[in-house]
Amino acid sequence: MKQLRVIALLILLAFVGCEQKIKVDTKPNIVLIYIDDLGYGDLSCYGAKALKTPNIDGLANNGLLFTDAHSAASTCTPSRYSLLTGSYAFRNNAAILPGDAPLIINQNQETIADMLKKAGYATGVIGKWHLGLGNGKPDWNAEVKPGPREIGFDYSFLIPATPDRVPTVFVENDKVVNLDLKDPISINYDQKIGNDPVGLEHPELLKMPADTQHSGTIVNGISRIGFMKGGHNAYWKDEDFATVLTQKAKAFITTNRDKPFFLYYSLPGIHVPRSPNSKFVGATTMGPRGDDIMEIDWMTGQIKKILRELAIEKNTLIIFTSDNGPVLDDGYADKAVQLIGNHKASGIYKGGKYSAYEGGTRMPTIAYWPNRIEPGKSDALISQVDLFASLAKLVRQDNRNSNVAPDSQDMLSALLGKSKKGRDVMLEEAFTMSIRAGYWKYIEPVSKKTPDWLANKDVATGLQKTQQLYNLKDDPKEEHNLAVKFPKKVKELKEALEKIKENPVIANN
């Protein structure tokens, strides 16, 4: 009898252990793969014919592909701010930042990373940051903070701003990687400093010509925005982004494989300057931009591969999307325009990066979670600003107050494919504001002068001094302005837009 009691006790303990294991494993790892400047039509799973993206297609074919998912803004810094905070960027006057800007997320403001840490997650960010570092004019030769670790991230390995801006160095956990203090870094965005050649003075040293804005200090044969001296031992090589960032992402996943983790994997491609690794050069007929797309496809595949090797793929939610719409000529002569051929980077949609039209914010978006998300397509209207509330609901941290993620709505059912219903109303930011209500879209008149640097971009920006109204069901390409024909609808949407501007509303979860 004593032996039987012992056996029964062991069986009971094993059962309890299994129950605990099951409960832990239902809290998934979360990997957010965030691409830069990737358009709705740039992937073969979204209809591209000029190239094949097999790794991303694999996520789409075995996950949920969204047809009406949006970044919160049509430019990078505002989109990233909205995604991480659950608050529209205009509430903090967040705009495209220079490379030496201070951290624009208040340290007392809860972020997705903060929220997931409270739920027991290890948190990491790897790749492009562009949300500012330090308190203003940071000292790159000391600890560069506040930064990601002050707003919820346990680990960070950053491209501080963008690949086309100085400083051209990696920052890991507040410190510049490979910095030699005998060659200290100085940054200036107003005037030339140091003796390194600049693009305007030495175009013969460039791998690709650049416009005036991008003709500052030359690093790795590419001139950048701004001027830099020192830090030469720490300079990155653009062609190494894919391998360096992939290695860091794999290391983070491997280190944290035995507990739930959140990885914000922010790829620098396909932002300019496009300088893909040699293994991808010539992979397409579209030059560096097309080859960069193949590079980000490979990087995506490497994430899925490590998850499979560690046997944690089935307990990992992967969300793949982009920060804003595409742009071809964005400051460098890389033949993106000449070699585009019949490829439509925005798909059927009008506009792209910087634009108030659909091509500015309608993003390729895929949610992948084996055995939890049924493969298919969703037409649900969702915004990246909703990721905060949706993930909070997933990990049971949905007890927000008015100071936390005020614009984020719980779209978890839509994200996981359990519901086809998305938002009723959605705000979109560009250099003016837009609002979606079902298939109706209103774009308010621009109230300020178009910046000189934007005037020559190769996108239809939607910056007009008249009101615009489109019926996207009948006119998805936004070719027919119906504002004069439907003044009541204009008034209704204009009032709804003003209401959102004035009063963020926490959704009931």
Give the DSSP per-residue string, 31-98.
EEEEESS--TTSSGGGT--S---HHHHHHHHTSEEESSEE-SBSSHHHHHHHHHHSS-GGGGT--PPP
Question: For residue 25, what pLDDT band results from cuts at 50, 70 and 90?
Answer: very low
Domain 427-502: CATH architecture, name and number where available? 2-Layer Sandwich (3.30)
Angle at 237 between CA 232 and CA 238, to 5 degrees: 140
Q: Which of 79-83, 154-158, 210-214, 400-404 is predicted least confidently?
A: 400-404
Residue 444 DSSP label: P
User: d(Cα 173, Cα 165) in Å, to the nearest integer?
Assistant: 20
Q: pLDDT tens, 443-459?
A: 999 877 766 666 656 55
In percent, the amount of the chain with pLDDT more than 70 equals 91
pLDDT computed for residue 505 by the predictor:
65
Mean pLDDT computed over 15-25: 38
Distance CA 390, CA 384 (A): 10
**Any idea which residue has 């297609």 for tokens?**
57
Q: How far is CA 242 from CA 112, 124, 265, in A?
A: 25, 18, 12
pLDDT for res 162: 97
Helix axes 54-61, 287-309, angle to 10 degrees: 50
In sequence order, what are the residues at sequence separation of 6 or more whose Cβ sits closer than 8 angstroms to the Cβ of residue 333? 208, 209, 210
Average pLDDT over residues 60-77: 97
Confidence of residue 293 (pLDDT cuts 50, 70, 90): very high
Give mean pLDDT, residues 326-346. 96
Candidate from 86-95, 147-156, 486-495 with smallest mean pLDDT: 86-95
Confidence label for 57 from pLDDT (cuts 50, 70 and 90): very high
Please report the pLDDT score of residue 23 as a whole number: 37
Please give the mean pLDDT across all residues of the chain.
Answer: 92
What pTM was computed for the model?
Answer: 0.93
Burial class of residue 162, CB neighbours in 10 A (0-12, 13-18, 19+): buried
Report whether the peptide linkage leading into residue 273 is cis, meaning its omega lies within 30 degrees of zero: yes
Question: What pLDDT is stored for residue 9 in this prediction?
Answer: 44
Structural contact between residues 182 and 235, judged by C-beta atoms closer than 8 angstroms:
no
Q: Which residues contact residue 110 at a Cβ distance below 8 angstroms, ignoring those fewer than 6 apart?
A: 85, 152, 403, 404, 405
Q: What's phi and psi for 164, nearest 5 deg?
A: -95, 10
Residue 159 confidence (pLDDT) above 60: yes
Reported confidence tier of residue 403, pLDDT bands at 50, 70, 90: confident
Q: Which residues is 155 bridged to in the sheet?
A: 124
d(CA 495, CA 390): 27
Is the separation of the CB atoms in 429 and 87 below 8 Å?
no
Q: How confident is the model over 76-90, as a mean pLDDT?
A: 97
Question: Using alpha carbons only, what angle is made at residue 32 by residues 506 and 68, rounded to the nearest 5 degrees?
Answer: 65
Indicate the CATH number for domain 27-185+230-423: 3.40.720.10
Give the residue-averaged pLDDT of 12-16: 43
* Edge-to-edge order in the sheet of strand 365-368: 175-176, 171-172, 155-159, 122-128, 261-266, 29-35, 316-322, 365-368, 64-66, 376-378
Residue type, 440: W
- Which of 155, 111, 165, 107 is closest to 135 using CA atoms? 107
Question: Does residue 507 register a pLDDT over 60?
Answer: no
∠ at Cα 373 (409, 397), nearest 5°? 40
227 Cβ contact list (under 8 Å, min separation 6): 166, 187, 188, 189, 191, 192, 193, 194, 198, 216, 217
Per-residue pLDDT for 327 more than 90? yes
Please give the average per-residue pLDDT across 148-166, as a whole number: 98
**pLDDT digits 0-9 by tens, 114-141:** 999 999 999 999 999 999 999 988 999 9
Q: Quote the pLDDT of residue 20.
A: 35
Predicted confidence at residue 2, as pLDDT, reads 47
Rounded CA separation 466/360 (Å): 19
- The C-alpha atoms of residue 379 and residue 69 are separated, in whole angstroms, by 8
Q: Model confidence at 28, in pLDDT bands (50, 70, 90)?
A: very high
| d(C-alpha 471, C-alpha 135), whole Å | 45
- For residues 274 and 292, what is the distance between their CA atoms, to the nearest angstrom? 7
Spatial contact of 324 and 37, defined as CB atoms under 8 Å apart: yes
* Burial bucket for residue 475 (CB in 10 Å: 0-12, 13-18, 19+): middle
Going from N- to C-terminal start, the domains of the chain cover 27-185+230-423, 427-502
Q: According to the model, what pLDDT value does residue 17 have?
A: 42
b/e per residue, 192-203, with b = 16+ CB within 10 A? Answer: beeebbbbeeee
For residue 375, pLDDT over 90 is answered with: yes
279-283, 347-351, 421-425, 501-505: which range is least confident on average? 501-505
Confidence (pLDDT) at 94: 85
Cα gap 509→123, rounded to integer Å: 24
Give the pLDDT score at 126. 98
Please, what sign has the CA dihedral across residues 106, 109, 111, 116? positive
Structure tokens at 205: 């040293």
| Cβ within 8 Å of residue 188, ≥6 positions away | 226, 227, 228
> 101 phi and psi, to 5 degrees?
-75, 150
Q: What is the pLDDT of residues 205-261, one digit of tens each?
A: 999 999 999 999 999 999 999 999 999 999 999 999 999 999 999 999 999 999 999
Note the pLDDT of residue 508: 37
Q: State the average pLDDT over residues 385-402.
A: 92
Task: Tell me the two tokens of residue 321.
Answer: 């999307």
Instruction: Tell me: pLDDT of 11 over 70.
Output: no
Q: Is residue 1 predicted with pLDDT exceeding 80?
A: no
